[in-house]
Amino acid sequence: MMRMIFTLAFAFLMTNLSAQDFGDHKSSTLTSKAWTELGKNNSDMAITYANKCIELYMKEAEKMQKSLKDFTAQEDTPKYWALNDVGTCLYIKAQALLKKGKKKEALATFKQLTEKVKYAQCWDPNGWFWKPSEAAQEKMVEMELD
Amino acid sequence: MRKFFLIASFLFCVSLLIHAEEAKGHKVSFEKNSDGFWRVNVNGKLIPVRGAGGVLAPGMLETFAKEGGNFTRTWGIESLEQKVTGGARYIDKAKELGVNVMAGIWIGHERHGFNYSNEAQVKKQREIVRAAVRKWKHHTGIAVWGLGNEMEGPQAVAGNPKVWQELEVLAKIIKEEDPNRPVMTVIAGSRAEKIKSLLKYCPTIDALGVNAYGAASGAGKDLVKAGWKKPFAITEFGVKGFWEASKTPWGAPYEPTSTEKAKSYYATHKLVTQINNGKEQCLGTFAFLWGWKQEKTSTWFGMFLKSKEKLPQVDALVKAWTGEWPANRAPKIEAVKADFSGKAVAANKKLIASVKATDPEGKPLKYDWVIVEESKAHSVGGDKEYEPPSFPALTLINNDPECVIMSPAKAGQYRLFLTIRDGDGNAATANIPFLVK
């Protein structure tokens, strides 16, 4: 019986460990994984990856945020990699929380994004940069209708 | 007969005099209210713009006025004479309902062949603009002249200086003919280069109209940053454009549901007029489109169905204007489910799609599912598009929240459209893009 419990617990642990593969732990990798999971509607995994990015890079992101007075020019965005990725991950996390029906937590996450990493930018495959904090602000107002 | 002719002429002259006298007293300007917010001053009354574009189909003006709208805009001067309810002219009906009109005067686009270096074309356009203002300046239904719509080029960066220079000449012509109304010009987006061009070449323009979709809520901030100090309005806004939306692997844009679109209308109006930088300079907004239009799909921009049912976007705009929901609201789409969404499927295959929807007043809902061929139009700047064919016979089980369809036999791009009606003048829409390989 004990052996069976141990085997099951081990199998469960292995499943979860292999499910969350942080790769090289770079902010860009984690952000990309978070986006992919959000796209697949795997909200829990999206939050896991987003949280990892936020945990590892928030301090650096805040340092970068402090150095700016406005959104940086397009050509300079790569210099603010931590700011951009943490801002994007906060947005992804909030969206995932909304999908799980956790509106209060989503609102708090959007707020954190607009207050702590306001100048983050994110590349849209359609060919421009968008601003997670502005998108967050829109979402916060949209949520008034819910 | 002679007596009759004399009486008729006399009455006509009296009518002209009355209109002229009425128009004399009709004065519109832009000025700040006591809170420092720019407003439209219509004969001494300061009003924020609760506006919409379109509003042309019979019955739309009445609905617009009833819902609390106070300003419409048109794009071409001929729209003022468009027949609406009871055969009345659009401009007369608007005045009767107390709706102010920003009368659009169309200015030639280079992408349509207009050449701003061609003296003959430019001269003719000036004559047309002068004649239009001369004809309509006595009508007190008109509050503002809307000079041009995206004439600088919807995709231009700074725009051709000749276009801006001519805009200034035309604005001066309008002012010569009618010193009692302000002039607004309308551009696509809020790029700094365009704003700087306007500042450099067009000092006569009284206010700026900005057409923006995904970026609309940030427009005020952009204008302030670029140095625009006069008032502005968002002259087209609503849902993210199909050019801004995420896409299927074959490039078809995913269209938001009407519920999702409603949130955009609400948030944009609130953000640009009450929250974001530049809000004090914002006269208000004109939602796009208070009516129906085929542009990319039959539902992307319209706030009504072709059959005139109201969509949730209208309710959300009313809530943004007044703080209150209308008494009779449109259905709400909670979720749409279709495994084939954004995927390639075989021909002649049975597919299932379902929706979870509710009605705010608990009314029973009717569901209509139909496959439509994807539009092959690649228009820019809202140019007219054809309506693609639909295939109602391919809906095997309809009138239910869950439908069964047969994928078309012919390979190509399609959408499964869903229309939900509450039987009381309201509807909701969604669609699912798929590919038949």
CATH classification at residue B387:
2.60.40.10
Looking at A17-31, A98-112, B357-371, which range is the least confident one?
Answer: A17-31
Give this prediction's pTM: 0.89
Look at residue B230 and tell me if it is in a domain. yes
Residues with Cβ < 8 Å from B333, sequence gap 6 or more?
B257, B258, B259, B355, B356, B357, B420, B428, B430
Which residue among B282, B299, B322 closes a domain?
A: B322
The per-residue b/e assignment along B19-42, b for 16 or more CB within 10 angstroms, e otherwise, is: eeeebeebebbbeeeeeebbbbbb
B275 interface with A at CB cutoff 8 Å: yes
Answer yes or no: do B217 and A134 touch at CB < 8 A: yes
**Cβ B312 vs Cβ B239: under 8 Å:** no
Residues B70 and B211 in one domain: yes
Using alpha carbons only, how large is chain B's radius of gyration in Å? Answer: 23
Look at residue B2 and tell me if it is in a domain. no
Interface size, chain A vs chain B, as Cβ–Cβ contacts under 8 Å:
31
- Closest CA in chain A for residue B253: A126
**pLDDT at A146 (0 to 100):** 85
Digit-by-digit pLDDT tens for chain B (437 residues) are: 887 778 777 766 666 665 555 666 789 999 999 999 999 999 999 999 999 998 999 999 999 999 999 999 999 999 999 999 999 999 999 999 999 999 999 999 999 999 999 999 999 999 999 999 999 999 999 999 999 999 998 788 888 999 999 999 999 999 999 999 999 999 999 999 999 999 999 999 999 999 998 889 999 999 999 999 999 999 999 998 999 898 999 999 999 999 999 999 999 999 999 999 999 999 999 999 999 999 999 999 999 999 999 999 999 999 999 999 999 999 999 999 999 999 999 999 999 999 999 999 999 999 999 999 999 988 777 778 999 999 999 999 999 999 999 999 999 999 999 999 999 999 999 999 999 99
Residues B250 and B370 in one domain: no
Look at residue B256 and tell me if it is in a domain. yes
Residues B343 and B213 in one domain: no
d(CA B40, CA B108): 27
- Closest CA in chain A for residue B277: A134
**pLDDT at B158 (0 to 100):** 86
Q: What is the CATH number of the domain that holds B101?
A: 3.20.20.80
DSSP at B43: T
d(CA B73, CA B144): 9
Which of A71, A110, A138 is the best residue to mutate to test the B interface, defined by the most B CB atoms within 10 Å of its own CB?
A138
Residues B300 and B379 in one domain: no
d(CA B136, CA B151): 22
Which of B213, B258, B263 is the best residue to mutate to test the A interface, defined by the most A CB atoms within 10 Å of its own CB?
B263
Answer yes or no: do B217 and A126 touch at CB < 8 A: no
Residues B26 and B108 in one domain: yes
Q: Which residues 317-376 of B are in CB contact (within 8 Å) with A?
A: 319
Helix (H/G/I), strand (E/B), else coil: B165: helix
Domain holding B339, by residue range, is 332-436
pLDDT over 50 at A18, yes or no: no
Cis peptide before B289 (omega within 30 of 0): yes
Residues B172 and B242 in one domain: yes
Picking from B243, B271, B319, the nearest residue to A137 by CB comes out as: B271
Helix (H/G/I), strand (E/B), else coil: B291: coil
d(CA B309, CA B311): 7
Look at residue B1 and tell me if it is in a domain. no
Tokens 């700047």 sit on residue: B381
Which residue among B270, B301, B322 closes a domain?
A: B322
Residues of A in contact with B267 (CB under 8 A): 138-139, 141-142
Answer yes or no: do B275 and A145 touch at CB < 8 A: no
**pLDDT at B54 (0 to 100):** 81
Task: Report the number of secondary-structure helices (H) and strands (E) in chain B.
Answer: 9, 20
pLDDT over 60 at A17, yes or no: no
Answer yes or no: do B267 and A126 touch at CB < 8 A: no
**Cβ A85 vs Cβ A31: under 8 Å:** yes
Answer yes or no: do A138 and B267 touch at CB < 8 A: yes
Look at residue B327 and tell me if it is in a domain. no
Residues B347 and B221 in one domain: no
Give the containing element (helix H, strand E) for A120. Answer: none
pLDDT over 90 at A84, yes or no: yes
Which of A141, A144, A146 is the best residue to mutate to test the B interface, defined by the most B CB atoms within 10 Å of its own CB?
A141
- Closest CA in chain A for residue B274: A141
Residues B128 and B251 in one domain: yes
Residues B191 and B263 in one domain: yes
B264 interface with A at CB cutoff 8 Å: yes
Residues B152 and B119 in one domain: yes
**Sheet hosting strand B45-47, strand order edge to edge:** B28-32, B38-42, B45-47
B386 interface with A at CB cutoff 8 Å: no
Look at residue B3 and tell me if it is in a domain. no
Which residue among B322, B350, B379 closes a domain?
A: B322
Look at residue B52 and tell me if it is in a domain. yes
- Segment A120-128 shows an average pLDDT of 89
Residues B106 and B85 in one domain: yes
Answer yes or no: do A138 and B275 touch at CB < 8 A: no
Residues of B in contact with A110 (CB under 8 A): none
d(CA B62, CA B93): 9
- Reading the block at residue A103, the tokens are 């509106």
Look at residue B124 and tell me if it is in a domain. yes
Picking from B247, B266, B276, the nearest residue to A145 by CB comes out as: B266
- Closest CA in chain B for residue A141: B267
**Phi and psi at residue A49, in whole multiples of 5°?**
-65, -40
d(CA A61, CA A68): 11
B258 interface with A at CB cutoff 8 Å: no
Residues B246 and B393 in one domain: no
Answer yes or no: do A145 and B262 touch at CB < 8 A: yes
Q: Which residues 99-138 of A are in CB contact (within 8 Å) with B?
A: 126, 131, 134, 137-138
**Cβ B347 vs Cβ B296: under 8 Å:** no
Counted domains in chain B: 2
